[in-house]
C-alpha cells in the first residue's frame, strides 16, 4: 500500500466527517511534496472546492486541522495557496519501514495484471554489425521489459531481423565481386563484421561509379540511379524474391555468419529474446495483406503497377506498399509482422516498438494503415521513440564505416574499468577470474547506466570515460555504495524483524526511510512511462543520500545497540533496493569493489 494511498484514506475520513461525502482514497490528488516546501505529502485542494464550498486556503486549513486532531499519521501541516502540505510522524515512517522488511521483491507488484505486452527491440539489419545506437536500443528495450514484469505484466521480448532487402543484396554483391571466397574463419572476423566490411566496400565502389558518370556529363541525380553496381544489386533482389537457388543459398550462408556474430554480441550485452521474427518470412505475409487491401478498395494501384495507401484523410502523404516491379518495402513487412504477432499472441494488451525517433513518421503511418485494415488492436500499438546517440564528431554512418562498433565499445569500457580499478589498488585477495568479472561488472554497468539514465525521448552525447567515473551519476558510483554496504554487513550483520517505532532518528535516517518508501511508486511510474531513466535517477538519489548518512553518522561504531542495529538493517535494506533497481536496468552489482 503506497504512502499516498494511506494518506488518501485519512483524507477520505475527513471528508466523510466534515462534508458527509464518502469518497474513495483514489479520488484525491495526492503527491509527494516538492522539495521547496515543508511536508511529505501534498493534497491538491482545487478539485475539491465544489464539495467544500470555500476558498482553497480555507478548505485546506479546515481539512488539515481535522487530520491533525483525528488521525495518528500526521505531525503538522501548512497551506500554500490551494495545496495542503502534510508532514507525517516519524512513527509512521518507521512502521512503513518495518512493513518493507517483510516483503519479498519489495517495490514489485506481485499481483498479476493478466496483461501481456510484446516489446520489440534490437531488430538489426544483417548487412552490418551492431553499433552504439543499437546499444541504447537494446538496453532500453530490455530494461522496459523487466520494468513491465516488475509491475505484474507478462512480457514477450522480441525482435524482427531485417534479413532481406536491397541493403542485404549490396553486401552480397560486394562479397561476390571482391570477396574471393573469404569467410569469417579465413578472415578471423566475426561474421557480422565481415558482412559489414562488404557493405562499406559496395558503397565505396558505388560512389566511384557515380563520380565517373558525373565526370562524363551525367547529372548527379541520374548518375546515382544509373550506376551498374546498383542495378546489379537490384537484380539480385529480384532473383532473391524469385528464390533463385544460387542467390538464395548465398543469402542463407551469409546471414548465418551474421546471426552467429549477433548472438555473441547479445551475450556480451546481457540481453535476450523470447521470440524471433524474420523479415524474409513476414514480407510475404505483408504482400498478401496488401493484395487483400487492394481487392477491398483500401489500397489503390498506379499506372506503373505500384500499390499505395491513400492517407489524405489522415493528413499524411500517400504511402507506397509495393513497388512497380512487385518488390516490397519496409512498410509491407511491418504490416505482415504486426498481424502475425497478434495471431501468435491473441491476448496481447500492447505491442511496444523500441525504435529511434527518426522513424516517428513510419510508425504513425503503420498504425494508421492497420486501423484502415480494420484491426482494432492497432490502438494498442505504441512506438517507444528514443533520441539518437551522437558522438562529439557527429552522427554515425554505416555505409561509410564510421560507426562505433558495439563489440569494440563494450570491450573498450571493460578495459577502461580494468585500468581504473587497478589504479585504485583494492584488489587484494581476489583471484584473476574474480578480477575479470569485476572489470566486466563495472564496465558494462557503466555503459548501460550511462545510456539509460537519460530520458528516452532525448538525444544524447556519449562519452565513454564519463560512464565509468566513480563520482557523479554513474553506475560505478552506485555499485561502489552497494559494495561498501556489503563490507558493513560482513562485519556486523544483525537479524531484526522490526524496529521500535519510538526510536529517535536523525533527519538523514528519516530521509532514507522516505526514499525507500518511494521505491514502489518509482517502479510503477517507470512502468507507466516506459522510462528506465526514472529507476536510474532514483537509484542515484538514494545512493547520494546514503553516502551523506554514512559520512556523518556512525554505523558499526555506534555505542547505542538499538541504533546500531537499526542502521545496519537500514543499510541492508538500501543495498537490496539498489540491487533490485540495478537488475531492472540489466546491471550487476559487485560484493567487493
pLDDT digits (tens, 9 = 90+) for 422-442: 888 777 888 999 999 999 999
Given CATH 3.40.50.720, say whether it is the number of domain 121-390.
Answer: no
Q: What is the pLDDT of residues 355-386, one digit of tens each?
A: 999 999 999 999 999 999 999 999 999 999 99
Q: Is the pLDDT of residue 299 over 90?
A: yes
Kindly give, in sequence order, each residue whose CB lies less than 8 Å from that of residue 244, ignoring residues fewer than 6 positions away. Answer: none
**505 vs 396, which has greater pLDDT?**
505
pTM, two decimals, is 0.91
User: Does pLDDT of 495 surpass 90?
Assistant: no
Q: What is the pLDDT of residue 403?
A: 64
- Poorest-confidence range of 64-73, 390-399, 466-475? 390-399
Share of residues in the chain with pLDDT > 90 (%): 81
Q: 309 has which bridge partners?
A: 299, 319
Give pLDDT, residue 440.
93
Top-level CATH class of 3-88? alpha beta
Condensed to tens digits (0 to 9), the pLDDT of residues 467-490 reads 777 788 999 999 999 999 999 999
Report residue 393's pLDDT band, with 50, 70 and 90 as the boundaries. Answer: low
pLDDT at 52 over 70: yes
Average pLDDT score, the chain = 92
Closest CA to 322 of 312, 336, 338: 336
Q: What does the pLDDT read at residue 460?
A: 87
Residue 396 confidence (pLDDT): 42
Contact present, 285 and 339 (Cβ < 8 Å): yes
Q: What is the DSSP string of 159-203?
A: EEEB--SHHHHHHHHHHHHH-TT--HHHHT--HHHHHHHHHHHHH
Q: Own/partner pairs for 179-183, CB < 8 Å, 24+ apart?
A: 183/257
Cβ atoms of 345 and 119 within 8 Å: the answer is: no
Helix axes 330-344, 360-372, angle to 10 degrees: 60
Cell of 573: 535494506
How many residues are listed for the chain in this entry? 593
pLDDT at residue 538 greater than cutoff 90: yes
Q: For residue 382, what are the β-bridge partners?
A: 352
DSSP string, 246-291: HHHHHHHHHHHHHHHHHHHHHHHHT---SEEEEHHHHHHHHHHHHH
In this predicted model, what pLDDT tens digit does every residue of 185-217 receive, in sequence order? 999 999 999 999 999 999 999 999 999 999 999
Q: How many Å is the maximal CA-CA distance in the chain? A: 92
Q: Do 441 and 461 meet the contact criterion of CB atoms below 8 Å apart? A: no
- Owner of C-alpha cell 528519516: 510
Please determine, looking at this structure, whether the domain spanning 406-584 carries the CATH number 3.40.980.10: no
Residue 400 vs residue 233, higher pLDDT: 233
Tens digits of residue pLDDT in 108-118: 999 999 999 99
DSSP annotation of 474 reads: S
Q: What's the pLDDT band for 400 if we cut at 50, 70, 90? A: very low
Calculate what percentage of the chain has a pLDDT beyond 70: 98
Match 574474480 to its residue by C-alpha cell.
434
Residue ranges of the domains in the chain? Answer: 3-88, 121-390, 406-584
List the 319-322 sheet strands across, edge first: 299-301, 307-309, 319-322
Amino acid at each position: 500500500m503506497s504512502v499516498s494511498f494511506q494518506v488518501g484514506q485519512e483524507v477520505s475520513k475527513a471528508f466523510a466527517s466534515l462534508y458527509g461525502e464518502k469518497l474513495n482514497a483514489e479520488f484525491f490528488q495526492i503527491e509527494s511534496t516538492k522539495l521547496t516546501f515543508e511536508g511529505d505529502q501534498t493534497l491538491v485542494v482545487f478539485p475539491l472546492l465544489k464539495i467544500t464550498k470555500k476558498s482553497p486556503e480555507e478548505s485546506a486549513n479546515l481539512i488539515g486541522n481535522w487530520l491533525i486532531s483525528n488521525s495518528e499519521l500526521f505531525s503538522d501541516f501548512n497551506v500554500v495557496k490551494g495545496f495542503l502540505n502534510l508532514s507525517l510522524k516519524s512513527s509512521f515512517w518507521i512502521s512503513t519501514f518495518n512493513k518493507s522488511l517483510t516483503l519479498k521483491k519489495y517495490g514489485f507488484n506481485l499481483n498479476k495484471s493478466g496483461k501481456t505486452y510484446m516489446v520489440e527491440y534490437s531488430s538489426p539489419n544483417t548487412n552490418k554489425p551492431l553499433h552504439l545506437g543499437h546499444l541504447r536500443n537494446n538496453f532500453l528495450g530490455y530494461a522496459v521489459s523487466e520494468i513491465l514484469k516488475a509491475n505484474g505484466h507478462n512480457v514477450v521480448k522480441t525482435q524482427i531481423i531485417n534479413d532481406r532487402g536491397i541493403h542485404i543484396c549490396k553486401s552480397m554483391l560486394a562479397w561476390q565481386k571482391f570477396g574471393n571466397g573469404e569467410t569469417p574463419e579465413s578472415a578471423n572476423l566475426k561474421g557480422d563484421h565481415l558482412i559489414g566490411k562488404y557493405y562499406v566496400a559496395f558503397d565505396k565502389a558505388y560512389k566511384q561509379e557515380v563520380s565517373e558518370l558525373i565526370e562524363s556529363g551525367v547529372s548527379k541525380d541520374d548518375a546515382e540511379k544509373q550506376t551498374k553496381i546498383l542495378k546489379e544489386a537490384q537484380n539480385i533482389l529480384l532473383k532473391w524474391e524469385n528464390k533463385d537457388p544460387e542467390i538464395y543459398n548465398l543469402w542463407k550462408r551469409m546471414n548465418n555468419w551474421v546471426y552467429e556474430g549477433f548472438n555473441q554480441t547479445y551475450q556480451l550485452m546481457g540481453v535476450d529474446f523470447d521470440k524471433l521474427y524474420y523479415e524474409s518470412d513476414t514480407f510475404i505475409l505483408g504482400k498478401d495483406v496488401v493484395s487483400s487491401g487492394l481487392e477491398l478498395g483500401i489500397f489503390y494501384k498506379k499506372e506503373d503497377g505500384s500499390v499505395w495507401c491513400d492517407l489524405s484523410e489522415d493528413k499524411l502523404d500517400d504511402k507506397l506498399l509495393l513497388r512497380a516491379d512487385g518488390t516490397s518495402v519496409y512498410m509491407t513487412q511491418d504490416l505482415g509482422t504486426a498481424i502475425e504477432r497478434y495471431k501468435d499472441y491473441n491476448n496481447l494488451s500492447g505491442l511496444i516498438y523500441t525504435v529511434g525517433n527518426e522513424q516517428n513518421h513510419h510508425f504513425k503511418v503503420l498504425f494508421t494503415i492497420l486501423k484502415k485494415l480494420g484491426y482494432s488492436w492497432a490502438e494498442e500499438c505504441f512506438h517507444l521513440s528514443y533520441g539518437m546517440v551522437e558522438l562529439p564528431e557527429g552522427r554515425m554512418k554505416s555505409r561509410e564505416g564510421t560507426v562505433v562498433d558495439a563489440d569494440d565499445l563494450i570491450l573498450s569500457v571493460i578495459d577502461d574499468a580494468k585500468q581504473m580499478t587497478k589504479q585504485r589498488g583494492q584488489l587484494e585477495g581476489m583471484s584473476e577470474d574474480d578480477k575479470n568479472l569485476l572489470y566486466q561488472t563495472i564496465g558494462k554497468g557503466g555503459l548501460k547506466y550511462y545510456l539509460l539514465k537519460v530520458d528516452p525521448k532525448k538525444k544524447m552525447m556519449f562519452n565513454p570515460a564519463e560512464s565509468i567515473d566513480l563520482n557523479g551519476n554513474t553506475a560505478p558510483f552506485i555499485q561502489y555504495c552497494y559494495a561498501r554496504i556489503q563490507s558493513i554487513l560482513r562485519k556486523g550483520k544483525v537479524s531484526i524483524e522490526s524496529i521500535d517505532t519510538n526510536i529517535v532518528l536523525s533527519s538523514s535516517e528519516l530521509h532514507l526511510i522516505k526514499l525507500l518508501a518511494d521505491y514502489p511508486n518509482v517502479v510503477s511510474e517507470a512502468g507507466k512511462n516506459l522510462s528506465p531513466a526514472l529507476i536510474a535517477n532514483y537509484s542515484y538519489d538514494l545512493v547520494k543520500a546514503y553516502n551523506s548518512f554514512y559520512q556523518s553518522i556512525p554505523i558499526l561504531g555506534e555505542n547505542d545497540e538499538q541504533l546500531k542495529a537499526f542502521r545496519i538493517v537500514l543499510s541492508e535494506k538500501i543495498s537490496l533496493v539498489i540491487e533490485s533497481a540495478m537488475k531492472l536496468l540489466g546491471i550487476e552489482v559487485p560484493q567487493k569493489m
